[in-house]
Structure 1
Amino acid sequence: MREVPRVVWLLAAGVFMNAVVSFTFVYLFVWLTAVRGLPVPEAGLIAGTGGVGLVAGNFTGGWFGDHLGHRRVLLAGSAVSGAGLVLLPALPTVALLPVLLLAQYAAGTVRAANSALVAVSVPEGARRQGFAVLRFASNAGFTVGPPLGALLATRTSYTWLFVADGVGTLLFAGYAARALPAQGVRRTRALRPARADGLWAALRARPSVVVLLATIFVTDTVYRQQYSTLPVWLAGHGIGTGAYGWLIAVNGGVILCLEIPATVALRRRPPLPIIGTGLVLVGAGYAALAGGAHIATAVTMMLLLTAGEILYKTTATAYVADSAPDHLQGRFQSLYAGASVSGTVLAPPLGGALYDTAPGALWPVCAVLAALSGAVLLAAAARWRGGAGEEAGEGVVGQARRRSGWRAGWASAGRSD
């Protein structure tokens, strides 16, 4: 962990503070229906539009970072998102949809900027630890945030949830402006190599990244069924909200305890087999539900799901960073960030439709999709390890960087800031 630069710890501290108050999305639907009195379809449209904005921000935030600077995108996105959340409770219903869309889009660009800043600040070989630190901070904040939000809503009003979230996001922008150094500020396009590849050419030259993104996209839609159809399925079998809350707590607690140690222990191992194994474990988790709706099977499912998440999420983020050309680091991170949250939009409608038409098929389908995704990645890893263009544990770009040596610290981040 000594290889993780100080700037990543500073960024992680800010991410933790921001995550503690980022509870709006947890209670948004309840606020729209119970407080604003909107019918369920209209509330679903507004909340779903916010999810679309979040995914779009993740997919495009890296482009802004590569051209304008990742630190600048973090600051601007946090300011726009925070201001939108503060204003939301005072807006008429007709204005909720566009403002929430903008606020969530800005939040998505911030997420992409956070990942890109870690990618350009941490030397190759230590990026897994860097991303594990960032995920630890985010998960720790999310563990504290929802109970705090529930307390705030019940003791005061839902209005203060948005105000606290918005003000906290604005404070994060102020903290980042002061804590994150801005040395060597340059536009990436000014330092772009004369014959540098564009995004699509770079992806064609890195087929492992394309395969990884596709498998993550599929698996995330499966993974996020735990937040949509799983509680409905449990409730339908007599397992109430309290037990579901404890299941989510198991997920967060195990991640906080084990993700960093696991990342450090496996940091020298080739990444693609680790990621593929993680995806297979996600499938195994949903397969465990074939044993019936019991607390024991639900806990087994969550433990397997969590083990898979620990293996694949940090490792996959670092692998994409290690594979990216310097001038495309932000866009590569955006592609991964977008793929890794696609399930927030796709999981509820797809899983809900399947559960409504064939409830007995939902968990087998989820298990097969995640397991197949993992198998595809494991087969691809074996092929490339066999000499089809990439060494085990490193992408093509990573090999060149390792041979030429890493160009140190935050000065590298400055090229993208």
Structure 2
Amino acid sequence: MQGFKDVPRTVWLLAAGVFVNAVVSCTFVFVFVWLTGPRGLGAAQAGLAVGIGGVGLVAGNFTGGWYGDRFGHRRVLLAASTLGGVVLMALPALSTALLYGALPAAQYAAGVVRAANSALVAVTVPDGSRRQAFAVTRCLSNGGFTLGTPLGALVATGFSYDWLFVAEGLGTLFLALWTARVVPPRAATAPSAAPDGGLGRGGLWRELRARPAVLVLLGAIAVADIVYRQHYTTFPVSLAEHGLDTRAYGFLIAINGGVILLLEIPAALALRRRSPLHLVGTGLVLVGGGYAVLMLGVGAASAVAMMVLLTLGEILYKTTATAYVADESPEHAVGRFQSLYAGVSVSGVVLAGPLGGALYVTAPGLLWPLCAVLAAGAGGAVLWAGRPAGRPAGRHEGRHAVRPAHETGSHPRAVAG
């Protein structure tokens, strides 16, 4: 664990709180069943409610970092998790009409929490150690979700779906209390009070144009997330049509969680000196390779191979890309850069289902080849951005790819908020 000595204690404690919250944060898995079952909505109504909720989640991710840069990331996380927890616990008691407003409100708060949490990690960890820090938080989050989903199914079937919302609401309130306890309330540098957050004339776009590799990365992640999330939307439908039932799909999701738990942290440690753009590009190509396997036919063996490749690609690109964007962000706009990444990294929540579903209905034979080409193309673009000669790489890529923080003399920055 030598490579993790630069990860501050605050991050480990924050990750522990994320784990506890993740154990009970599985309502989104069951919300469609809850709406069409106990709440009695039709599939179209339930789909509309879930879709609006997805828009709220993406909007929260895009705006959470702006709030954090303006008011403090800790303060924003506390406020959003408190609001989200209260709304979640109230959902079972609300009328159907009110659900159309409450669901996106809860999801919006969840998106703000996600962006604020990423920004907190980014400003707490020294340059060069962020991959390890984000690997810790992502691994524990996935571990909590892997444990919580079957427990949630037992609660929903043995007691009531309503208890899932109560449990997640309490877990979200716990995250607020835990964060208030473990994250220092003062920052070495106060959030910018300027209306533009201290970005000056030209604002965020000017900062992004100065970092073309970040722009390439964000575009590639937006495309890749639509492809990646097909394994939550069209993939289970395809499995069912080829004789593989829900139990088989659950087994495949368990493979995803298990591989992440086994390899996420060791991979971050072993690869911490490698070029981040090369790792991200390779990961996206692996995601494309997973869908390419399905072109050989959808069966048990190909489905397992697809999920393993998809998960290996996810391990390579998600943590590394999050850390790379944090390393490239100006210190007065860490939150906004994290929000940009957080937003594009969940854009598939809104777009994957409609786009993939439409193509699956009209031309099912084209879906997996197109997914493979799009993910591989996105990976190729990132690899091009990180090419050795004349690359439009960011300010820190080479330094972070070669030396860890304890060799550069970097020190943690105080937590904002």
TM-score class, shorter-chain normalisation, is over 0.9
The residue aligned with 1:350 is 355
The residue aligned with 2:173 is 170
Seen in structure 2, the aligned counterparts of structure 1 residues 397 and 262 have a Cα distance that, compared at 3 Å, is closer
Q: Give distance in 2, aligned partners of 1:122 and 1:47.
A: 35
Q: Give distance in 2, aligned partners of 1:189 and 1:364.
A: 47
The residue aligned with 1:320 is 325
Q: Give distance in 2, aligned partners of 1:226 and 1:99.
A: 27
Deviation at 1:293, TM superposition (A): 1.6
Establish whether residue 58 from structure 1 lines up as the match of residue 61 from structure 2: yes
The residue aligned with 2:213 is 208
Seen in structure 2, the aligned counterparts of structure 1 residues 378 and 388 have a Cα distance that, compared at 3 Å, is closer
Establish whether residue 299 from structure 1 lines up as the match of residue 304 from structure 2: yes
Deviation at 1:181, TM superposition (A): 1.4
Q: Are the counterparts in 2 of residues 229 and 348 from structure 1 also a CA contact under 8 Å?
A: yes
Q: Give distance in 2, aligned partners of 1:371 and 1:73.
A: 37
Q: Are the counterparts in 2 of residues 69 and 186 from structure 1 also a CA contact under 8 Å?
A: no
Establish whether residue 240 from structure 1 lines up as the match of residue 240 from structure 2: no
Seen in structure 2, the aligned counterparts of structure 1 residues 406 and 210 have a Cα distance that, compared at 3 Å, is farther
Q: Give distance in 2, aligned partners of 1:42 and 1:406.
A: 56
SS of 1:290's equivalent in the other structure is helix
The residue aligned with 1:43 is 46
Deviation at 1:229, TM superposition (A): 0.4
AA of the residue aligned to 1:295 = A
Q: Give distance in 2, aligned partners of 1:407 and 1:73.
A: 27
SS of 1:188's equivalent in the other structure is coil
Q: Are the counterparts in 2 of residues 390 and 396 from structure 1 also a CA contact under 8 Å?
A: no
Seen in structure 2, the aligned counterparts of structure 1 residues 303 and 40 have a Cα distance that, compared at 3 Å, is same
Deviation at 1:242, TM superposition (A): 0.7
SS of 1:35's equivalent in the other structure is coil
Q: Are the counterparts in 2 of residues 66 and 187 from structure 1 also a CA contact under 8 Å?
A: no
Partner of residue 282 from structure 2, selected from 273, 277, 280:
277
Question: Residues 78-126 of structure 1, C-alpha deviation per residue, up to 9 Å, x if partnerless?
Answer: 0011000000000011100111111110110000011001110111110
SS of 1:65's equivalent in the other structure is helix
Q: Give distance in 2, aligned partners of 1:347 and 1:190.
A: 38
Partner of residue 135 from structure 2, selected from 132, 135, 147:
132
Q: Are the counterparts in 2 of residues 67 and 187 from structure 1 also a CA contact under 8 Å?
A: no
Task: Return 5+ residue gaps in structure 2 as ranges.
Answer: none
Q: Give distance in 1, aligned partners of 2:237 and 2:6.
A: 44
Deviation at 1:69, TM superposition (A): 0.3
Task: Return 5+ residue gaps in structure 1 as ranges.
Answer: none
Q: Give distance in 2, aligned partners of 1:315 and 1:196.
A: 30
Establish whether residue 361 from structure 1 lines up as the match of residue 361 from structure 2: no
Q: Are the counterparts in 1 of residues 328 and 394 from structure 2 also a CA contact under 8 Å?
A: no
Deviation at 1:396, TM superposition (A): 9.8
Establish whether residue 7 from structure 1 lines up as the match of residue 10 from structure 2: yes
Q: Are the counterparts in 2 of residues 286 and 364 from structure 1 also a CA contact under 8 Å?
A: yes
Alignment of 1:171-186 (within 5 A): 171-184=174-187
Establish whether residue 259 from structure 1 lines up as the match of residue 259 from structure 2: no
Deviation at 1:193, TM superposition (A): 6.4
Q: Give distance in 2, aligned partners of 1:311 and 1:361.
A: 27
Q: Are the counterparts in 1 of residues 385 and 391 from structure 2 also a CA contact under 8 Å?
A: no
Alignment: residue pair count: 410
Taking structure 2 as the reference length, the TM-score comes to 0.94
Seen in structure 2, the aligned counterparts of structure 1 residues 137 and 239 have a Cα distance that, compared at 3 Å, is same
Q: Give distance in 2, aligned partners of 1:365 and 1:194.
A: 39
AA of the residue aligned to 1:162 = F
Taking structure 1 as the reference length, the TM-score comes to 0.94
Establish whether residue 108 from structure 1 lines up as the match of residue 111 from structure 2: yes
Establish whether residue 375 from structure 1 lines up as the match of residue 397 from structure 2: no
Q: Are the counterparts in 2 of residues 20 and 142 from structure 1 also a CA contact under 8 Å?
A: yes
Establish whether residue 31 from structure 1 lines up as the match of residue 21 from structure 2: no
The residue aligned with 1:287 is 292
Q: Give distance in 2, aligned partners of 1:328 and 1:392.
A: 15
Deviation at 1:392, TM superposition (A): 9.1
Establish whether residue 75 from structure 1 lines up as the match of residue 78 from structure 2: yes
Q: Give distance in 2, aligned partners of 1:187 and 1:398.
A: 30
AA of the residue aligned to 1:90 = A
Question: Residues 106-162 of structure 1, C-alpha deviation per residue, up to 9 Å, x if partnerless?
Answer: 110000011001110111110000000010111001101111111111221111111
Q: Give distance in 2, aligned partners of 1:340 and 1:195.
A: 27
Q: Give distance in 2, aligned partners of 1:242 and 1:175.
A: 36
The residue aligned with 2:273 is 268
Q: Are the counterparts in 2 of residues 275 and 374 from structure 1 also a CA contact under 8 Å?
A: yes
AA of the residue aligned to 1:138 = S
The residue aligned with 2:313 is 308
Q: Give distance in 1, aligned partners of 2:75 and 2:178.
A: 13
Q: Give distance in 1, aligned partners of 2:89 and 2:181.
A: 22
Seen in structure 2, the aligned counterparts of structure 1 residues 71 and 170 have a Cα distance that, compared at 3 Å, is same
- More displaced stretch, 128-137 vs 166-175: 166-175
